[in-house]
Structures are given as structure tokens and as C-alpha cells.
Structure 1
């Protein structure tokens, strides 16, 4: 039988440019998760700074990334809990021609070691592309962790089935998605049709992804005060059941679920998605070239 993992998903409202207080809030929630016996705690994207690149001190704050990564590594070791600390913004080669601002997700194991690192690939329009450097054509990595083969995606990556296929083709059975997804990401035309369209988008995709890839999904999003456009809806999903736990759109808090990975194995036996993808005569070829005719 496959193992069962107790996993905590943490939804928080990151106050803009408040590194210390945001870290303190996150650490408090991780301690609470460890006290409940969680093997893994997952935080949202941009949980340390929010997303405020227009702030004159933003770049300077991003240069402190190593300090907070080290803090999370020490916390994981002290509490003996695995941590995905949302994403951490890393400024490299500041004020040089090779300057890069990276949006990075880490898997830190319970010994404090870094088991995996992923740089966000699919950036959200000019809002992110004007500031961040994508991992572009780098492969989506999969990592061996105490919870098995794990893939990391970040926010808008969720929308691209190719990313998921790349992960499960490498054996990922748990996919973790730190996110900063708001209701305001929808256009005015979309909001006129459905003011909570992005919530529908998230709920639909998260359930679909766990079915179509026979994997478990941990989705940690930011929440915040009502009326500010936060989408929330952090959840843990598995095939057959969909969300095992699901937080609301505004609330900060934590939800903990026992994730029975045998469900993933049973779903694969049923749907045989992975086995089809592994066939040498499989009929879909996901090569994308500039010369391709759409």
C-alpha cells in the first residue's frame, strides 16, 4: 500500500514589504502544522513581500533572499517538518547587465536540506515579465523527497497542461503549486460575465489536473481582506475525491489533510494515463517549434 501523508496548506495575507512580520506569521503557522503532526507545510507565492515591484525598496528587499531561505531551512530542521516556503524572490547580480530577479520555489526536507528548486517559467503578462526572469526552456524538474517524487509549479504554470505532463512523465505523484492568484486577474469583460470567474477557473482546473494526471495536488494561495480581490481557495486535491480540504476566498488560516497516496495509485490503475504516456507508440508529440503551424 502507498503511504498516507499529513499535509498542511497555509493561506495568508502577505503585507506589502513587511518581510519580518510576514515571516513571523508564516513560521507561526508552520509550527502549528508541526504540532498537528504534519509532514509537509506549504505557503503561498510572494508570501514574504507581496507583489509590489513599483516600491522603491522592493529590489533591496529581494536581495535578502538567502537570509530567509536559511531561516526556513533551520525551521524545518528544528521542527522536523518538510516545508515548501511558497516562493522567495531572489535578486542576483544587482545593478549589472546580468541582473536577474527570480521567483523561486524550494522543497526543504525535514533535515533542512534543499531537495528541490524551481524557477517560475510561465510569467503572468507584463505585470511579471517586465520584472522577472523566466526559467524559459529549462526542463520542469522533479525531485526525490521524503514524500516521494514531487513536482513544483508556480501560479500561472497551473494553466499549462504541458507543464503537468512533463512532471508526471518523470514520475511526480504529488504536485505542489504556491500561488498569488487574485479575482482581479480576470479582464473587465470576464468580470462582467462572472465577478468570481477566477475562483471558477481555480476550482475547475485543480480538480481536473489531479484526475487527468493521476496525481495529488497541493495548492496554496494568498488570501486577504474582503473586497481587496484575493481569491484564496487554497486546497489539497486527489483524484476521485477532488478537494480534501478547501479554504475560503478571504480567510487567512491553515487546513490539514491526510493524503492517502493509494488513491493516486488506484486512479492510475483505473485511467492508465501514465502508462499510456510511457508507450513508445504514443500518438501525441508535444514538440513546440517556431515553425509549427497552429
Structure 2
């Protein structure tokens, strides 16, 4: 039988450009998760800074990324828990253009404090493209972790099934998605039809991606006070069942849930998604198969 993995999904309200305050709050939740036996804690995207790219301090924070990565590595070792610390915005020198560039990075830190996975956000949401550089045509990677083979995506990547296919073709059973997604990320035409359009999008996509890839989805989004447009809805979702746990749209909080990984094996036995991807005659040949196409 496949193992049961205890996961903590943490939904935070990040105070803009108060990284130390936001880190301390996140650390408190992570310590609580560890005390409840969680093996993995996942935080939202931009949880240290919020999304305030026009604040000059946002770009300046990119110089501090190593400080906070080290803090999370120390925390993981202290608590004996794996951590995906949402995303950390990093500033790096682009030698070709002779200028700094900002990238949005998710890390997987194991319980010994070792970084075993790193993912740079590929699919940037429209407003991000003015400020960030994506990972372009870099291949999505799967990481061997203490809880199994894991893939990581970030926020708007959720809209691209190709990313998921690339990960599960390499054996990922769990895909972790730190997110900063609000109800205001919908245009006026969509909001006029459905003010909760983005909530429908998120719930639908998490469920669909779990079913169509026979994988577990760990989705950690930002939450916040009512009326400020936060979508929340952080959840852990699996095939057959849907959301094993799901936080509300506004509140901060944490949920610790047992994920029976046997569900994924049973779903694959039924749907045969991975088996089809492994076939030599698989008819979708654009980077969906782990095998090299001849």
C-alpha cells in the first residue's frame, strides 16, 4: 500500500513589504504544523512581501532572498518538517543584458534543511511581465523528496495543462502550487457575469488537474480581510474525492490533512493516464511523454 502523507496547507495575509513580520507569522504556523505531525508545510506565493511591484522596496527585497531561504532551511531542520516557503522574489545579474532581473522562485526544503528542489515561475500573469522574468523554455523538473516524487508550479501555471503533463510524465505524484490569486484578477466583463468567477476558476482547475493527472494538488493561496478581494481557497485535492480540505476565501489559517497516496494509484488504475503517456505510440507528441520522440 502507498503511504499516508500528512500535509499542512497555510493561508496567509501578507502585510506589504513587512518580510520579517510575515516570516515570523509563517514560522509560527509551521511550528504548529510540525507539532501536529505534519511532514510538509506549504506557504503562498509572495507571502513575505505581498504583490506590490511598484513599491521600490519590492525590487530591493530581491537582494535579501538568501537571508530568508536560509531562515526557512534552519526552521525545517529545527522542526523536522519539509517546507515549500511559497515563493521568494530574487534579484540576479543578467550578464547578457548587463542588468538585474527579478525572478519568482519556489523551493522544496527537506526536513534536514537541504534544498532538494527549485522552480522559477514560468507562466507570468499579465501584470507580472513588466517586473519579472520567467523561466522561458526551461523544462519542468520533478524532484525526489522524503514524501515522494514532487513537481512544483506557481499560481498562473495552474492554467496550463501542459505543465502538469510534463511533470507527471516524469513520475510526479504530487504537484505543489504556491499562489497569490485574488477575485480582482478578473476583468469587468467577467465580474459583471459572476463576481466569484475566480473562485470558480480555482476550485474547478484544482479538481480537474487532480483527476486528469491522477495526482494530488497542494494549492496554497493568500487570504485576507473581507472586502479586499482575496480569493483564498487553499486546498489539498485528489482524484475521486476532490478537496480533502479547503480553507475559506478570506480568513488566514492552516489545515493539516492526511493524504492517502493509495488514492492516486487507484485513480491511475481506473483512468490509465500515466500508462497512456508511457506508450510508444502516444499521439500527443509535444513534451507530454518522458520518452524521447524519434
Calculate the TM-score normalised by the size of structure 1. 0.96
Partner of 1:291: none
Distance 1:225 1:287 in 2: 41
What per-residue deviation string (whole Å, max 9, x for no partner) do you get for residues 217-246 of structure 1? 100000001110100000000110000000
Partner of 2:123: 122
8 Å Cα contact 2:13/2:223 also seen in 1: yes
8 Å Cα contact 2:198/2:231 also seen in 1: yes
Secondary structure at the residue paired with 1:64?
helix
Distance 1:25 1:85 in 2: 12
How far does residue 62 in structure 1 lie from its aligned partner after superposition? 1.9
Runs of 5+ in structure 2 lacking a partner?
289-294
8 Å Cα contact 2:61/2:90 also seen in 1: no
How far does residue 94 in structure 1 lie from its aligned partner after superposition? 8.4
What per-residue deviation string (whole Å, max 9, x for no partner) do you get for residues 92-119 of structure 1? 1289723110100000000000010000
Distance 1:138 1:124 in 2: 18
The aligned runs of 1:209-228 (5 Å cut-off) are 209-228=209-228
Asked if 1:284 is matched to 2:287, the reply is no
Partner of 1:269: 269
189-198 vs 60-69, which deviates more?
60-69
Secondary structure at the residue paired with 2:6?
strand
How far does residue 60 in structure 1 lie from its aligned partner after superposition? 1.4
How far does residue 56 in structure 1 lie from its aligned partner after superposition? 1.9
Partner of 1:229: 229
The aligned runs of 1:37-186 (5 Å cut-off) are 37-93=37-93, 97-125=98-126, 127-186=127-186
What per-residue deviation string (whole Å, max 9, x for no partner) do you get for residues 165-190 of structure 1? 00000000000000000000000000
Partner of 2:291: none
Secondary structure at the residue paired with 1:27?
helix
C-alpha spacing 1:82/1:287, structure 2 compared with 1 (3 Å): closer
RMSD across aligned positions (CA): 1.3
How far does residue 57 in structure 1 lie from its aligned partner after superposition? 1.8
Calculate the TM-score normalised by the size of structure 2. 0.96
